[in-house]
Chains A and B, each alone.
Chain A
Amino acid sequence: MGTSFGRGGATTFPGDLVNSDVIVIEGSNMAECHPVAFRWVMRARERGATVIHVDPRFTRTSAVANLHVPIRAGSDIVFLGGIIRYIIEHERYFKEYVVNYTNASAIINDAFKDTEDLDGLFSGWDKKKGKYETHTWMYQGVDPEPAAGDRESDVARKGEATQRKPIQAEHTDATLQDPRCVFQILKKHYSRYTPEMVEEACGIPQSLFIRVAETLCRNSGRERTGAFVYAVGWTQHTVGVQYIRSAAIIQLLLGNMGRPGGGIMALRGHASIQGSTDIPTLYNLLPGYLPMPKAKHDKDLKTYLRLNTSPSGWWGEFPKYLVSLLKAWYGDAAREDNDWCYDYLPTLTGDHSHMNTVVDMADGVVKGYFVMGENPTVGSMHGALQRKGLRQLEWLVVRDFQLIETAEFWRSAPEIERGEVKTSDISTEVFFFPAAAHTEKDGSFTNTQRMLQWHKKAIEPKGDSRSELDFIFKLGQRLKELYASEYDQRRNWPIRDMTWNYPVEGPLEEPSAEAVLHEINGFTVLDRKPVEGFTSLKDDGSTACGCWIYSGSYRDGINMTARRKPCWEQEHVAPEWAWVWPHNRRILYNRASADLEGKPWSERKKLVWWDEQKKEWTGADEPDFIKKRPPSYRPSKEARGKETLSGLDPFIMQADGKGWLFVPTGLQDGPLPVHYEPQESVIKNPLYGQQCNPERMEWMRTDNPYHQPFDDPRFPYLLTTYRLTEHHTAGGMSRWLSWLSELQPEMFCEVSPELAEERGLKNGEWATIRTLRGEIEARVLVTKRLRPLRVKGKRIHQIGLPYHWSTKGLIRGDAANDLISFVGDPNVSIQESKAFTGNIEAGRKSKSRRYVTTGPVVRKLRSRERERDLPGARRKPETKHGYKAAEAKEGNV
């Protein structure tokens, strides 16, 4: 989403789905996983909207949808690509919107070659490095900046930045006829994503596919809008980012972005997962999507700012946000003459994301590990490798409500129960700290619609239970003391100068969460008065701000996130309930809800418009635009930064203000989505010679074996994982509760009656499911909710696995994630857990099983491995771990 529109967040809110005329839910089982938000879908349906559910399984979401479209897991890009082709071929796109609000008319570099020309690769593949040189994907003659997260990556590849130029208007063709323009490239790129191909690759009958495409087209335009809803069914793939990109292209072509009932709704599974990317507990970002410095390129502040400040678009404001952050972190120590302490920041030398960390752990590089509110041995991919990593640590700190599997890996794990590993051999020192619940601390969560909601402390935590805020604050105080005598060493200066004087309150002397929010919001340095919002921030050291996109959440010293004005006293958008980033804008890019003159496209779909009297943007939502900039404004050639945004540029975070159908920079694996098969698939890629994403992250290690890319006789079935209503992710917040455990007591696997017959599986009895990583046992649920699909003339069986169980808690069962390998998307390092292969047999056959970390589970295949890559794209393992890791990442998708 970041690369298409400019920000990595859901563009709308669930309540606005009620305004949709068609809702496509794909990669999500919304009715079961986000039931309360699903009410809005049901209400939309009552109002006449069509609800379409695309999913391998028939779920409760499907049961109340108008249309259920069963699909082969891992083939969504073909399906979505088919819709894109349908829209273009039948000229169903919203022409005025496409020409003016997207980059459809931009002319692309002459040297660009599409996957059509190169059998599944784009131009620029560097065989030696095993990755793309992306300069041929650029606009003709310009150097646009990608908006989200890794704006540095492209520049980094080219070395020194050249003279930056804003995008020039002469390199466009408003007729969309130039063969080098984005629209024509798009048309050609998708030409083979025909209904026949959709049927062949996804197993979706052509008539059903056409019904979906036609319904979408019919419900778009001036009077009507449609929305897409997704969850981790889209993100957890080696091409996850490109799934979402595909939906973005559809929504831009149909003119559904920034409008009521339109947009793309990302449904996230943790209370503050959006918040933890905005204020990132992620390696590659600083708060507010500012990139972490790279060792090789960002040598000093000047260089870092030059490489990251966009000459056009809103990211021209970059220095204000960075300097304000450094002022917030280092206070008076940050001065202009010492570059605001920029050189206190550690630097990156590659991908340091979760999977690499675990591999480094297993190899003894990582010695100490903090785990707070997460249970990676159950919730993360390849549990056995996760536990192997923990066994090599010197010390581990776990903070949770109770002793989760990650805290007890040394005495409660499959390999321990079977005697493969002995507790007395594990040297890791483990600290368990009981955590305070949300009822026992003040603080804000950022929900799936970018809304910061405050929860007030109701009671004091019991015993040793403490909030993470308290833990980190007091750990920081102790470290400041420990290092106090060593401040002569430069490396300790950041600890010395880090501002850490939060007021404490209550009987436990906990730091004040409001004081932290005050710092996040930002203030003027002189009087510590909260700033109004990010437009008040300066790059001269006069303001401090911990996270610029959250600026305004504490304006006038009022905790805006704690606002709870009842919904019955407000309009539908409810702007006075809590606070949404940025600037309380509820629907992003909402300038696009108005036409070129600034009038709503239609009365039915009006949201934000230009008020000719007041000379400003106004409407039901806070305008996501420069408030006083008229639709008629055109930038001069000399304009820089946000002054380059014309009155027709709704996507203000993009360098050119347009929605990107084609992403010239910012993605590792291609400017357009391409269908690649999962790392482990049941068929050969029907579209290209290149089987898998050439930029996927792989770990070639004996403790992380892969199956054959397709047609592996040992692993003929397609596996996918999912969640249940009554459980929460890795179970830390549900498997210990009797109320929830009783409702959903046992691990099971869903199989079709046909597969049950083929493998002799009986409903309610046991089955053993196997991959090269491990084996698990589960009760069999034979159900027509899963049905075999015909793909490439072959009958394909899919097996569904919930992943909540493990060895601890009131209810126990095997963990589905033990089956999954380490393999990931190159853009965001997310693993592929929604499509992989495996085998199933009746009975409990895993008594003598062994995990791959302690010995092979299945004998090696004798025959030659098939290839995942074209001869030109094959690569050798790069590092000592044998993994292939992309360079820079964006935080969220």
Chain B
Amino acid sequence: MTPSPGNLPSTYSSNRGIYRLMPEKDGSGLPGWPVLRQLKNGDLLGLNGVTAGSERTESLAARTKTADRVVGSVCPYCAVGCGQLIYVKDERIIDIEGDPASPVSNGCLCPKGAATFQLVTGAHRVSHVLYRRPYGMEWEKIPLERAMDMVAARVKKTRDESWGDKDQDGNPLRRTMAIAHLGGATLDNEENYLIKKLFTNLGIVQVENQARI
């Protein structure tokens, strides 16, 4: 088998781009040439995983091995619900892999699921609350607490101004038609529960999600 970047573990190519083809001597007095080691080990194809190894190989380990903890999770993309394992070290996620124990997925992840690591750790994620004022041309950063206060105030004002108590026939309405919500299929059940509970009790009936889209 010809060594190539394709069939070698990636760590092999770290030595200034040259593959380590001259392993150290193994104490047998023979040079450590791979072909000799292959003959000695009866491993003619060089595929048993030992012959081609080196001391450095021995010292290598997947970074998941050094994780402080592994947290059981679920893929956030489609509804198949593949199991995921989140590897955490120093309070940072260092890897996300499929969970072999899951009867749903047996450790598999599709291209999207396999990209979850980038989804949750990528630089694309915004970490500030942003505000665009009416007619504004740009976003402005505002503090989270202030933004929460502003939203609560808007909800109250809109609700109070648009309250409908009864329809023209005197039937009870108890609602506002001026506030609406969209989203839920990517959220947790507990979140949907609080959304439905809070909004229904504010009299917001137009609560919808991707189930219709």
| Other A-B pairs, 15, CB within 8 Å; known A740-B115, A830-B213 | A35-B110, A352-B177, A366-B179, A372-B182, A394-B158, A397-B151, A427-B134, A432-B131, A437-B125, A476-B198, A494-B202, A498-B197, A520-B193, A566-B101, A740-B112
Query: Whose C-beta in chain A lies nearest to the C-beta of B166?
Result: A295
* Pair A479/B155 contact, Cβ less than 8 Å: yes
* Pair B120/A440 contact, Cβ less than 8 Å: yes
- Which residue from B76, B126, B195 sits with its C-beta under 8 Å from A438? B76
> 4 closest pairs, A vs B, by CB?
A463-B127, A443-B188, A447-B81, A281-B184
Q: How far is the CB of A44 from chain B (nearest CB, A)?
A: 15
Interface flag for A639 (CB, 8 Å)? no
* Pair A564/B101 contact, Cβ less than 8 Å: yes
Q: Which residues of chain B have C-beta atoms less than 8 A from A353's C-beta?
A: 208, 212
Query: Whose C-beta in chain A lies nearest to the C-beta of B181?
Result: A370
Interface flag for B44 (CB, 8 Å)? no
* Pair B72/A564 contact, Cβ less than 8 Å: yes
Q: Which residues of chain A have C-beta atoms less than 8 A from B129's C-beta?
A: 431-434, 464
7 interchain pairs, CB-CB under 8 A: A292-B205, A371-B183, A427-B134, A431-B150, A434-B126, A459-B88, A739-B114
Interface flag for A345 (CB, 8 Å)? yes
Q: Interface size (A, Cβ < 8 Å)? A: 163
Interface flag for B137 (CB, 8 Å)? yes
* Pair B182/A546 contact, Cβ less than 8 Å: no
Q: Which residues of chain A have C-beta atoms less than 8 A from B106's C-beta?
A: 39, 567
Q: Interface size (B, Cβ < 8 Å)? A: 113
Cα of A46 to Cα of B210 in the assembled complex, Å: 35
- Which residue from B75, B175, B195 sits with its C-beta under 8 Å from A347? B175
Task: Mark out the residues of chain A between 272 and 302 whose CB falls within 8 Å of any chain B CB in the assembled complex.
Answer: 272-283, 286-287, 292, 295-296, 299
Q: Which residues of chain A have C-beta atoms less than 8 A from B119's C-beta?
A: 401, 437, 733, 737
Query: Whose C-beta in chain B lies nearest to the C-beta of A356?
Result: B206
Task: Mark out the residues of chain B between 71 and 125 whose CB falls within 8 Å of any chain A CB in the assembled complex.
Answer: 71-84, 86, 88, 91-93, 96, 99-106, 108-115, 118-120, 122, 124-125
Proximity bits, A12-53, B CB within 8 Å = 1, else 0: 001100000000000000000111110100000000000000
Cα of A329 to Cα of B194 in the assembled complex, Å: 10
* Pair B102/A577 contact, Cβ less than 8 Å: yes
* Pair A513/B190 contact, Cβ less than 8 Å: yes
Residues of B bordering A, CB below 8 Å: 69, 71-84, 86, 88, 91-93, 96, 99-106, 108-115, 118-120, 122, 124-135, 137, 139, 144, 147-156, 158, 162-163, 165, 167, 169, 171-175, 177-198, 200-213
Query: Whose C-beta in chain A lies nearest to the C-beta of B179?
Result: A368
Interface flag for A736 (CB, 8 Å)? yes
Q: How far is the CB of B178 from chain A (nearest CB, A)?
A: 4
Interface flag for A349 (CB, 8 Å)? yes
Cα of A266 to Cα of B133 in the assembled complex, Å: 43
Q: How far is the CB of A194 from chain B (nearest CB, A)?
A: 35
Cα of A433 to Cα of B205 in the assembled complex, Å: 23
Q: Which residues of chain B have C-beta atoms less than 8 A from A455's C-beta?
A: 72-74, 84, 188
* Pair A281/B207 contact, Cβ less than 8 Å: yes
Cα of A761 to Cα of B130 in the assembled complex, Å: 44
* Pair B83/A564 contact, Cβ less than 8 Å: yes
Cα of A520 to Cα of B125 in the assembled complex, Å: 31
* Pair A464/B128 contact, Cβ less than 8 Å: yes
Interface flag for A738 (CB, 8 Å)? yes
* Pair B104/A370 contact, Cβ less than 8 Å: no
Q: Which residues of chain B have C-beta atoms less than 8 A from A273's C-beta?
A: 79, 185, 209-211
* Pair B125/A295 contact, Cβ less than 8 Å: no
Proximity bits, A534-554, B CB within 8 Å = 1, else 0: 000000000000110010000
Q: Which residues of chain B have C-beta atoms less than 8 A from A283's C-beta?
A: 205-208
- Which residue from A433, A479, A574 sits with its C-beta under 8 Å from B202? A479
* Pair B189/A278 contact, Cβ less than 8 Å: yes
* Pair B118/A370 contact, Cβ less than 8 Å: no
Task: Mark out the residues of chain A between 456 and 492 whose CB falls within 8 Å of any chain B CB in the assembled complex.
Answer: 456-460, 462-469, 471-476, 478-479, 482-483, 491
Q: How far is the CB of A322 from chain B (nearest CB, A)?
A: 14
- Which residue from A276, A354, A437 sits with its C-beta under 8 Å from B76? A437
* Pair B205/A348 contact, Cβ less than 8 Å: yes
Interface flag for A170 (CB, 8 Å)? no
Q: Which residues of chain B have C-beta atoms less than 8 A from A276's C-beta?
A: 184-185, 187, 192, 209-211
Cα of A343 to Cα of B80 in the assembled complex, Å: 39
Cα of A830 to Cα of B210 in the assembled complex, Å: 10
* Pair B193/A498 contact, Cβ less than 8 Å: no
Interface flag for A177 (CB, 8 Å)? no
* Pair A354/B212 contact, Cβ less than 8 Å: yes
Q: Which residues of chain A have C-beta atoms less than 8 A from B193's C-beta?
A: 279, 287, 516, 519-520, 546-547
Query: Whose C-beta in chain A lies nearest to the C-beta of B186?
Result: A373
Cα of A440 to Cα of B73 in the assembled complex, Å: 11
* Pair B126/A401 contact, Cβ less than 8 Å: yes
Q: Which residues of chain A have C-beta atoms less than 8 A from B84's C-beta?
A: 455
- Which residue, B156, B180, B196, has most C-beta atoms of chain A within 10 A? B180
Cα of A766 to Cα of B36 in the assembled complex, Å: 58
The answer to whether A456 and B131 touch (CB under 8 A), given A36-B110, A373-B186, is: no
* Pair B173/A295 contact, Cβ less than 8 Å: yes
Proximity bits, A515-537, B CB within 8 Å = 1, else 0: 01101100000000000000000
Cα of A557 to Cα of B14 in the assembled complex, Å: 51
* Pair A352/B205 contact, Cβ less than 8 Å: yes
Q: How far is the CB of A862 from chain B (nearest CB, A)?
A: 35
* Pair A369/B189 contact, Cβ less than 8 Å: no
Cα of A739 to Cα of B175 in the assembled complex, Å: 46
* Pair A577/B103 contact, Cβ less than 8 Å: yes
Interface pick from A249-257, A374-382, A645-653: A374-382
Cα of A87 to Cα of B189 in the assembled complex, Å: 41
Interface pick from A111-119, A154-162, A357-365, A614-622: A357-365
* Pair A354/B155 contact, Cβ less than 8 Å: no
* Pair B72/A439 contact, Cβ less than 8 Å: no
* Pair A453/B74 contact, Cβ less than 8 Å: yes
Q: How far is the CB of A696 from chain B (nearest CB, A)?
A: 14
Q: Which residues of chain A have C-beta atoms less than 8 A from B144's C-beta?
A: 433, 464, 466
Cα of A301 to Cα of B124 in the assembled complex, Å: 50
Cα of A371 to Cα of B151 in the assembled complex, Å: 13
Cα of A278 to Cα of B167 in the assembled complex, Å: 29
Interface flag for A395 (CB, 8 Å)? yes
Q: Which residues of chain A have C-beta atoms less than 8 A from B92's C-beta?
A: 459
Task: Mark out the residues of chain A between 543 and 600 whose CB falls within 8 Å of any chain B CB in the assembled complex.
Answer: 546-547, 550, 562, 564-568, 570, 574, 577
Interface flag for A6 (CB, 8 Å)? no
